[in-house]
Amino acid sequence: MTTSFSVLSRGGGVGGGSSSRTILITGVSKGLGRALALEMAKRGHTIIGCSRTADKLKALQSDLPDSKHLFMNVDVRSNSSVEELARIVMEKKGPPDIIVNNAGTINKNNKIWEVPEEDFDAVLDTNVKGTANVLRHFLPPMVEKKHGIIVNFSSGWGRSGAALVAPYCASKWAIEGLTRAVAKELPEGMAVVALNPGVINTDMLASCFGSSASLYQAPDAWAVKAAAMILNLTGSDNGASLTV
């Protein structure tokens, strides 16, 4: 797999105020990740964002030009790429206060026996291995400090099943199980949760629902509620399966 890695913006430490937090969001260049980054930044928090789509990442950077934010072109499917991301983040910012494992993809609507091998692998590699790569490299310094909240994006289809999206369902059921297991490995005070964002009008939803995706709420409206919920998570939420 060819991976790219570049730092688009580097800043200093966390911005003023004890209430300001450093928030790492994967898949930050579009959809829910982008909307959440913009909302969290508006609330005064420092954003660390990564995406494998360089042009869209640069567009987000232009919307968030404050030098305290940090944006990197990273493919979460690549363990070495995430390892380098973690190295730079620790050097520039220290361990994040919150991690949102948002990066994800879905297969084209197909019965499981008609899903090409490469499409199945792409879904599992991004949604499951990508999340595991982030946990592998960011949890050790967070555990050492016994501080931090990890939000693994799940789905309603991670708690039920749906025809034509079996690979996606499998990946999100995996996220639910992974989250519950990791919760048992964290020290008191930390938390990892599986968060179903709900049904939002994104490119991924349109790939399944077609034009009817436009009937659902827009990412920016969703982000207001999601940001409030994520910021209010505490150690008592460890291991929970939640829904925005």
The per-residue pLDDT for 18 is: 45
Q: Which CATH class is domain 6-243?
A: alpha beta
Domain boundaries, given as residue ranges, for the chain: 6-243
> For residue 244, what pLDDT is reported?
95
pLDDT at 8: 55
Give 10-residue mean pLDDT values along the chain (244 residues): 46 46 97 97 98 95 96 98 98 98 96 98 98 98 98 97 97 98 98 94 77 82 96 98 97
pLDDT score at 205? 67
Catalytic residues: 168
Token pair, residue 118, equals 């490469």
Nearest to 171 by CA among 82, 106, 221, 97: 106
Task: Look at residue 59 in the predicted model and tell me its pLDDT.
Answer: 96
The whole-number pLDDT of residue 42 equals: 97
Give residues with Cβ within 8 angstroms of 132, minimum separation 6.
178
Name the token pair of 154. Answer: 């799940």
Contacts of residue 202, Cβ cutoff 8 Å, sequence gap at least 6 = 30, 31, 32, 213, 219
pTM over 0.75: yes
Q: What is the pLDDT of residue 1?
A: 40
